[in-house]
Amino acid sequence: MELFLWENVLEEESECTLTDTEAIFSLQKANITVDWPILEENINKSEKYHARNQILEKAQKVLENRAKCKKGKDC
């Protein structure tokens, strides 16, 4: 499942609970003062491709930083 949410969420404060029949997402908005008119942005394939790449690069950097912290370097 892939969603391109209207706004940012706080990943560390959000969670996903899996049951035998459901995936339940509890997402915490980064900015609670912004009303989302819909869950997802209406973006085309090209925009999704670029957004996906940016998100993957960000996730890679986060994982690299966590690995450094576990080794006791540059936290």
Query: What is the structure's pLDDT at 69?
Result: 87
pLDDT digit string, tens, across residues 14-64: 999 999 999 999 999 999 999 999 998 889 999 999 999 999 999 999 899
CB contact burial 23-39 (16+ within 10 A = b; e otherwise): eeeebebeeeeeeeeee
- Quick check: 34 and 5 in contact, CB under 8 A? no
